[in-house]
Structure 1
């Protein structure tokens, strides 16, 4: 059996703020109490997807299990298990530090992420740091990992609609049942203890199990909110902290989703303009307006008649509904990168020329069997209990109808993604708001794109102002969610310098250019699949 390591409960707030202290000193420290062993094949596979000739984190990553209290107020009560990983440094001698990393979500597993960050880091960072990942409570390899309804996400799903009465009736019932099913699936009371504050205490349990006085931390997307909360609870335990793709403290979580609707609409419009620029490749229209019109016409057709495609080799049937089209093309609004733009562009072009195999490969969803909903459970478990969502459906209608008029791309799909919070079977708490926390680390480094749709820049700027002494590097023309290790040397050099030396830009805000729009491959259409992107995103 795998050895479980039990740690004492973490209670209360940190007692003092952190100044500009460097990372944890390289003096002798207690040995880690974690029992490292080989990782499961799926964790190794997730890391190997980013292996290179120079960096093969999949061959270095190790796993361990850590037992923590379900309820930190009852340290001797029920325990749950976190999956923790380490990808050790390559340099001789002790590591400069151990960096705990979180890819975002909430609901995303993060055990693989330490190995992935190792692979994406410079040789100097690989030599210096141990990268520590973990699956948050309730998610992936942590125990228990809850599933609520294995058929919830099977295609074709009902059309998201535009706030019309028919769609509302169907989706309100569907999401209410999902919330009820999650309540039934929770056998130990996890739903009442799955807030960000619980995960922050888990991070400190990991710190102590590692034997560290302080940890360094890198959080992307939702990981920036987890980082904020950790810094508020345990300011003395933070060495260096980098936050990438930042969530504003005031919008958690209802207002944050409303803002996403606006920014995703803007970014998908930008993508339509790029498709028009490359009409000689994709043949979807020569103007942004023409491509936009064609897309929304296609979505309306799919709302009435989803495309069903049967693979001649496997016999597997996939469906492209209006919902799956929206969900998958949303990737293009997340990141302005070839791997996020080419697959949906090629999928649309495939439909235009009658290639339903290519269209289904890009946008199709599973129609039979069981569809893993653990990540969706994890998303709702955190967001629905971090804060009380509006309980008056009329408010949801008013707010989203107003946005829908100008920004129709994502609005009602996002409503239904979050609608389980209307009926979530656990009591909501009060979110940590760092604007009202007096003692915080003053050496935090932030990164953001000016047109990040998932974590819009106004929220990042609000957080920067709240984190006194922080610095933020901004891609002034960027449209990529989370900009570290996305191919911009101007960004990555600042990340390296910060963790290796503690030095940051002198100005509070520093602006750099992004790498710009991708250029389609010379041979035109390439792979259409968007299924292997491995998104580390807020949703």
Structure 2
């Protein structure tokens, strides 16, 4: 769960009303969304509109306190047959969600939809935004691997302090951050748009929002795309921790293999074993003396453990690693770490925890966490402890956890599942579990695909299936066995440089 990206800029006020929607059935009365220009330069440059919608803090008390959701809309192209509204389920591992309406310009067959991006509750530019301890991801943290009781105690104190800070930051909001709250918000958005039905597009953690929405509001769903689906049986102690570790370790070592194959560029060694020796030596070096006085083993590992998530980053981080090994200067690593992990991401980190810590109960007994992490670290020494400490605030989270919604998909009429077979964050086993729940679904698997998320910018094999589905609703034929219904080859490895 450690990968975090920056939040988007503040949304503009709204001025123009929404046009007609291809609704099925009558929408419930609701405040209309008004749309206007966007202050975010990327959204504005794409021709998107921005707006806001007030929703109840507590949907069980609709007349009580409100919060404000920030929305963006990329309208359908008049030249394409209108397909209705496409809600993008917020995926907090990919930014705010507010900007994800832009998928309407990046995906085949997307032109007929009004694409709606939503900054989920707690996540800026929605108001209020949750932030607990802006310096929590700062430099010189205790070593992830608790080689002494003192290090373990330091981490337990840190995560307790973070949970306490969240309790003080937004105590009322913290009680209403579950996926079911987000789903209720999305249904308010649907009603405000005047749509009897909507299509939905989600990726990674966003797919769980779709799964719950489809369970609670199946008749409101026209089509669903679940790109890298979450296994609903594993939320979240297993899914956010231990289900990921071995896959992340595997992909990290695949990056080492790629570095070895490109030794003419990076000069780090010609075998996986040689790269592992270089890695171990550099980890020992920054453990003994942090680079530039700030890059210790945690910051060093976090910087390069972006690679198991995104294969496209391999050349970037290969260059950063090689230059550091050659020069011993950690300035570039410090800059990259600051970009990916520091102050701007506390809003993302806090909001992600607020959801995952309360969707389902987490073990309270630290001895269980320790034993599970030790066992996981035997297979995933580079990833296990970092993931555990990222999730450990959930053990002492200051809001009561609920019980996960039993995800049922039999009443959802049309679903396309997409999965990279070597995705570490959402393993293929989870996609197969989700497929079993949806009798009207088809699963496309990219064999050997590594990145968390098949789309956008997929190859012609994926785009052909996806474009056909988005434009017509036609799915590939479903096989009798619980297996991939269509398979695409993995894209070529990135070019070194």
Fold equivalence (TM over 0.5): yes
TM-aligned CA deviation for residue 153 of structure 1: 1.4
Say which is worse superposed, 477-486 or 224-233, in terms of deviation: 477-486
The partner residue of 1:118 within 101, 104, 129 is: 104
- Partner in structure 2 of residue 392 of structure 1: 365
TM-aligned CA deviation for residue 478 of structure 1: 1.1
The partner residue of 1:515 within 488, 491, 495 is: 491
The partner residue of 1:295 within 279, 284, 306 is: 279
Q: What SS does structure 2 have at the residue aligned with 1:479?
A: coil
Q: What SS does structure 2 have at the residue aligned with 1:85?
A: strand
Measured against aligned partners, the alpha-carbon deviations of 1:26-82 in whole angstroms (never above 9, x if no partner) come to 9999999211111223xx33x5xxxxxxxxx73311111100011111010111110
- Partner in structure 1 of residue 324 of structure 2: 351
The partner residue of 2:120 within 117, 136, 149 is: 136
Say which is worse superposed, 419-428 or 149-158, in terms of deviation: 149-158
Matched, 1:382 2:355: yes
TM-aligned CA deviation for residue 353 of structure 1: 1.5
Cα contact 1:348–1:359 (8 A) shared by 2:
no
Q: Aligned pair count?
A: 474
- Partner in structure 1 of residue 38 of structure 2: 39
Q: Distance in 2 between matches of 1:25 and 1:494?
A: 25
TM-aligned CA deviation for residue 114 of structure 1: 0.6
TM-aligned CA deviation for residue 300 of structure 1: 2.5
TM-aligned CA deviation for residue 400 of structure 1: 0.8
Q: Distance in 1 between matches of 2:322 and 2:257?
A: 15
Matched, 1:67 2:54: yes
TM-aligned CA deviation for residue 440 of structure 1: 2.8
Q: Distance in 1 between matches of 2:46 and 2:132?
A: 34
Q: Which runs of 5+ in 2 are unaligned?
A: 1-11, 480-484
The partner residue of 2:249 within 235, 247, 265 is: 265
Q: What SS does structure 1 have at the residue aligned with 2:175?
A: helix
Change (3 A) 1:80 1:516: same
Q: Distance in 1 between matches of 2:212 and 2:281?
A: 43
Change (3 A) 1:392 1:247: same
- Partner in structure 2 of residue 469 of structure 1: 440
Cα contact 1:39–1:61 (8 A) shared by 2:
yes
Q: Distance in 2 between matches of 1:3 and 1:73?
A: 27
- Partner in structure 2 of residue 535 of structure 1: none
Q: Distance in 2 between matches of 1:25 and 1:3?
A: 23
Matched, 1:458 2:464: no
Change (3 A) 1:396 1:208: same
Cα contact 1:108–1:139 (8 A) shared by 2:
no
The partner residue of 1:244 within 207, 227, 240 is: 227
TM-aligned CA deviation for residue 293 of structure 1: 2.1
Change (3 A) 1:292 1:60: same
Q: Distance in 2 between matches of 1:102 and 1:320?
A: 35
TM-aligned CA deviation for residue 308 of structure 1: 1.6
Q: Distance in 2 between matches of 1:474 and 1:226?
A: 21
Cα contact 1:347–1:361 (8 A) shared by 2:
no
Q: Distance in 1 between matches of 2:348 and 2:94?
A: 4
Q: Distance in 2 between matches of 1:27 and 1:213?
A: 5
Trace 1:69-468 onto structure 2 (pairs within 5 A).
Answer: 69-92=56-79, 95-105=82-92, 108-115=95-102, 117-122=103-108, 124-126=109-111, 128-162=112-146, 164-187=148-171, 189-256=172-239, 257-308=241-292, 319-337=294-312, 340-354=313-327, 356=329, 359-360=332-333, 363-365=336-338, 372-434=345-407, 437=408, 439-468=410-439
Change (3 A) 1:70 1:452: same
Say which is worse superposed, 294-303 or 393-402, in terms of deviation: 294-303
TM-aligned CA deviation for residue 95 of structure 1: 3.1
Change (3 A) 1:259 1:295: same
TM-aligned CA deviation for residue 24 of structure 1: 5.1
Change (3 A) 1:2 1:104: closer
Q: Distance in 2 between matches of 1:183 and 1:31?
A: 32
TM-aligned CA deviation for residue 108 of structure 1: 4.0
TM-aligned CA deviation for residue 288 of structure 1: 0.4
Q: What SS does structure 1 have at the residue aligned with 2:51?
A: strand
Measured against aligned partners, the alpha-carbon deviations of 1:237-273 in whole angstroms (never above 9, x if no partner) come to 0011000011111110011120101100000011101
Q: What SS does structure 2 have at the residue aligned with 1:125?
A: coil
TM-aligned CA deviation for residue 105 of structure 1: 2.2
- Partner in structure 1 of residue 3 of structure 2: none
Q: What SS does structure 1 have at the residue aligned with 2:327?
A: coil
Cα contact 1:4–1:65 (8 A) shared by 2:
no
Change (3 A) 1:438 1:221: closer
Cα contact 2:441–2:478 (8 A) shared by 1:
no
Measured on the aligned residues, the alpha-carbon RMSD in Å equals 2.6
- Partner in structure 2 of residue 495 of structure 1: 466
Measured against aligned partners, the alpha-carbon deviations of 1:254-311 in whole angstroms (never above 9, x if no partner) come to 11120101100000011101100111110111100110121122122212322128xx
Measured against aligned partners, the alpha-carbon deviations of 1:294-329 in whole angstroms (never above 9, x if no partner) come to 1122122212322128xxxxxxxxx42322222221
TM-aligned CA deviation for residue 477 of structure 1: 1.4
Q: What SS does structure 2 have at the residue aligned with 1:341?
A: helix
Change (3 A) 1:370 1:262: closer
Change (3 A) 1:2 1:286: closer
TM-score normalised according to structure 2 size: 0.90
